[in-house]
Amino acid sequence: MRVGALLDLKGREVATISPSRSVEDAIYELHARRIGALVVVDGTGPAVGIVSERDIVNALAEHGSDALALRVLDVMTSPVVTCTEDDSCTQLMVQMTENRFRHVPVVHEGHLAGMVSIGDAVKVRLSELEGEKKELLDYVSSW
């Protein structure tokens, strides 16, 4: 399945945050939305970076509770790897596994068009495998 088709199912909303907001704000956003990463946007392009729960855990380990007052800019990863709606979900799973991250923002014509998490990609692949299994079973039992 292509990323575009996944977004048709999942929706195209992307949770974003400004680089000048605090790590504490980012934690509240992640908690309220029940997600693992926010795309960092400053109006200069689709994404200036990404901040995930991993970055916040690392900042807390390094700075203790002082990490809460740091800015998103201080803990985010930049540049951010993005994909397009034409990429395949399987390709994306390989990329996420090899690069050890679990989120990839989707960019279409210079704008954020969605977010794919490793969970989304695995869900798609599992459903494809179920479909392939059913086709094979139907084929074998038609003999």
Please report, as ranges, the residues that interact with ligand AMP according to CB under 6 A: 36-37, 50, 52-55, 77, 80-81, 101-104
Residue 19 CB, nearest approach to ligand AMP (Å): 13
Is the CB of 4 or the CB of 36 nearer to ligand AMP? 36
User: Closer to ligand AMP at the Cβ: 14 or 81?
Assistant: 81
At closest approach, how far in Å is the CB of 119 from ligand AMP? 11
Work out how close the CB of 1 gets to ligand AMP at its nearest, in angstroms, rounded to a whole number. 19
75/124 with CB nearer ligand AMP: 75
The DSSP secondary structure of the chain, one letter per residue, reads -BHHHHHHHH-----EE-TTSBHHHHHHHHHHHT-SEEEE--SSSS-SEEEEHHHHHHHHHHHGGGGGGSBHHHH-BSSPP-B-TTSBHHHHHHHHHHHT--EEEEEETTEEEEEEEHHHHHHHHHHHHHHHHHHHHHHHHT-
